[in-house]
Amino acid sequence: MKLTAPKGTRDILPSEIGKWHFVEKQFMEVCSLFGYDEIRIPTFESTEVFSRGVGDDTDVVQKEMYTFDDKGGRSISLRPEGTAGIARSFIENGMGSMPFPIKLCYNITAFRYENVQKGRYREFHQLGAEAFGSAGPRVDAELISMISLFFRRLGIYDSMLRINSIGCPECRKKYNDSLKGFLLERYEGLCKVCRDRYEANPLRVLDCKDERCKTVTAEAPLLSDSLCNDCADHFVGLQEALSDLDIDYEIDKRIVRGLDYYTRTVFEFISENVGTQGTICGGGRYDGLIDQFGGGCVPGIGFALGVERLLMEMDSRGLVPGENEKVSLYIASIGDETVALAHRLCFDLRKNGIAAETDLTGRSFRAALKYAGKAGFTHLMIIGKDETDSGVVKLKSLKDASEKDYDLTDLVERLKEEFYG
C-alpha cells in the first residue's frame, strides 16, 4: 500500500482494456474513411509551443501545465493537449508545401495539473484530428460528420452537438469593446472572478456559472450576433453543410472555448453523464495558429475527445462492447514425463497462431483442470502416458464438453485448419 499511482492517474487494467481497444479501433477506422492519417508526436514539447500556441494567459498554460527544466536547462512541458504540438510538427516537417488539405488524426495522453474530479484526471487520453489548408465551412462539417459517424459506430445516435462561431480576431475585437461597455455598466453585479475576467478575457464572463453573473449577462450582446460579414457567411455555410449531411445540431451562442487559438467555428459534444464536466468532445477552427508559429497563413480546424469521458458515457448507456472470444487452448499434463512435451506442444501451437498455455506454477493435474475451467480457455487437452503410448490426444471443448480425437503427429496442422482454415 505504500507505492500508489500519482494523484489523478490510473491504471487501465487488462479487464477493461477491451473497451479501449474497441473505441480506438473504431476511431482509427472512421478517420481512415475520411482520409485522416495517424500522426504521433512527442509527449513533451518546448514550453513555448504551448505558451504561444494554446495562449499565454489561458488557465491551461498558466496554472495547469507540468513544466520543468531539463538537465540542459531547456524549459519543457508535458502536453496539455494535442493541437499545438501538431501545428509545430506541421511546420517543422514542411507540410505546408504538401497538397492540401492535410488531414491528421491522433491518439494521445495529455497532462494537466488540475484538481481531480469526476471525468477529470491529471493524465487523460484524447482521440483527435486536425485538418489543415482549407478555410471553407465544408471541412468543418466534414470533420463534425466524422465524429458523428464515430459516435454512431459506438451506438450513440442522438445528437449531442452544439455549435457556435466566435468570429475572427477583427470581429472579436470589435465585440470585446461593446461587451466591455455592456459589462462596465453592470460591473457591480458581477462575481469576484468575473471582475478580474473583465480585463483579461471578458468573453469568459458569459460562461460564468454564478447565478448573479448569469442574470447580468442574460441580456448581453452575443459574439455570434456581431460577426463581420465573412464570419457570418462562414457560420451560415457551416449550418447549411451540416444540414446537407443530415447532422443534427443546436446553436449554443454561449460556447466559448478556453484556448486562445480558436477562431470562427467552435463546437462541443456534451452529455450529462460525465459529471459536471459535460464536454465529451470539443473543437474548433484555428485559422491563425500556423501563422502565429511563423508557418504562413494556413487555416485549420480540429477537435479532441476525452476517452475517459467517452467510456463513461458508453457505460451509462450500457454500450459496453463484449470482448470477442478467441480460441485458446490449455494443455494439462499428467506426470513429470509429459511436462516437457506439453511445453513443446504449446510453442508449436503458438508458432502456428493458436493461443495455448500449460501449467507454469506446479499445479496438480486436478488443480490444473479447475484452473482451465475458471480461466476461460475454450479448449482443454490432456497429455499423459495414455496419449504418448497411443499417439492420440483428445481435445475437449470447455464450452459444450464435446470431445474429439487427434493424432499427435498432425495435431497442430489439423487444429490450425479447424480454427482458422
Alpha helices in 130-228 (DSSP H): 137-154, 169-185, 192-200, 211-217
Taking alpha carbons only, the member of 251, 316, 308 closest to residue 280 is 308
Sequence-ordered list of residues with C-beta below 8 angstroms from that of 168, at least 6 positions apart, any chain: 228, 230, 231, 263, 264, 287
Minimum CB separation of residue 51 from RNA in Å reads 15
CB contact at 8 A, 175 and 221:
yes
State yes or no: residue 259 binds RNA (CB under 7 A).
Answer: yes
Question: Whats the size of the chain, residue-wise?
Answer: 421
Cα 36 to Cα 28: distance, rounded to the nearest angstrom: 8
**Taking CB under 7 A as the rule, which mask of x and - marks residues 32-71 in contact with RNA?**
--------------------------xxx---x-------
Question: Which of 146, 372, 411, 412 is the binder for RNA (CB under 7 A)?
Answer: 372
Cell 465573412 belongs to: 230
Q: What are the CB-based long-range contacts (under 8 Å, 24+) for 387-396?
A: 387/338, 388/337, 388/338, 388/341, 395/329
Taking alpha carbons only, the member of 383, 385, 391 closest to residue 344 is 383
Stretch that binds RNA, among 32-40, 67-75, 95-103, 201-209 (CB under 7 A): 201-209
Closer residue to RNA, CB minimum distance, 4 or 97:
4
State yes or no: residue 287 binds RNA (CB under 7 A).
Answer: no
Residue 362 identity = G
C-alpha to C-alpha distances, 222 to 13, 119, 245, 408, nearest whole angstrom:
46, 29, 27, 78
81 DSSP 8-state letter:
S
Peptide bond into 101 cis (omega under 30): yes
Stretch that binds RNA, among 69-77, 107-115, 167-175, 287-295 (CB under 7 A): 107-115
State yes or no: residue 398 binds RNA (CB under 7 A).
Answer: yes
Contacts (CB under 7 A) with RNA, residues 115-144:
115-121, 124, 126
State yes or no: residue 264 binds RNA (CB under 7 A).
Answer: no
What is the grid cell recorded at 150?
464515430
Cα 137 to Cα 239: distance, rounded to the nearest angstrom: 8
State yes or no: residue 334 binds RNA (CB under 7 A).
Answer: yes
State yes or no: residue 273 binds RNA (CB under 7 A).
Answer: no
Stretch that binds RNA, among 2-10, 20-28, 154-162, 165-173 (CB under 7 A): 2-10
State yes or no: residue 363 binds RNA (CB under 7 A).
Answer: yes
* Binding footprint of RNA, residue count (CB under 7 A): 74
Closer residue to RNA, CB minimum distance, 223 or 259:
259
Phi and psi at residue 2, to the nearest 5°: -80, -45
**Taking CB under 7 A as the rule, which mask of x and - marks residues 236-255 in contact with RNA?**
--------------------
Question: Which of 206, 345, 349, 380 is the binder for RNA (CB under 7 A)?
Answer: 380
Alpha helices in 34-168 (DSSP H): 47-53, 59-63, 83-92, 137-154
Minimum CB separation of residue 362 from RNA in Å reads 7
State yes or no: residue 277 binds RNA (CB under 7 A).
Answer: yes
Residue 391 identity = G
Cα 363 to Cα 298: distance, rounded to the nearest angstrom: 65
Minimum CB separation of residue 25 from RNA in Å reads 19
Contacts (CB under 7 A) with RNA, residues 293-332:
304-306, 308-309
Closer residue to RNA, CB minimum distance, 4 or 229:
4
State yes or no: residue 189 binds RNA (CB under 7 A).
Answer: no
Minimum CB separation of residue 137 from RNA in Å reads 20
State yes or no: residue 24 binds RNA (CB under 7 A).
Answer: no
State yes or no: residue 271 binds RNA (CB under 7 A).
Answer: no
Sign of the C-alpha dihedral computed for residues 274, 280, 286 and 290 taken in this order: positive
State yes or no: residue 279 binds RNA (CB under 7 A).
Answer: yes
State yes or no: residue 275 binds RNA (CB under 7 A).
Answer: yes
CB contact at 8 A, 383 and 345:
yes
Minimum CB separation of residue 329 from RNA in Å reads 13
State yes or no: residue 394 binds RNA (CB under 7 A).
Answer: yes
Cα 61 to Cα 70: distance, rounded to the nearest angstrom: 18
Minimum CB separation of residue 197 from RNA in Å reads 7
Contacts (CB under 7 A) with RNA, residues 401-420:
401
Minimum CB separation of residue 142 from RNA in Å reads 19
Rg (CA), the chain: 28
Closer residue to RNA, CB minimum distance, 242 or 395:
395
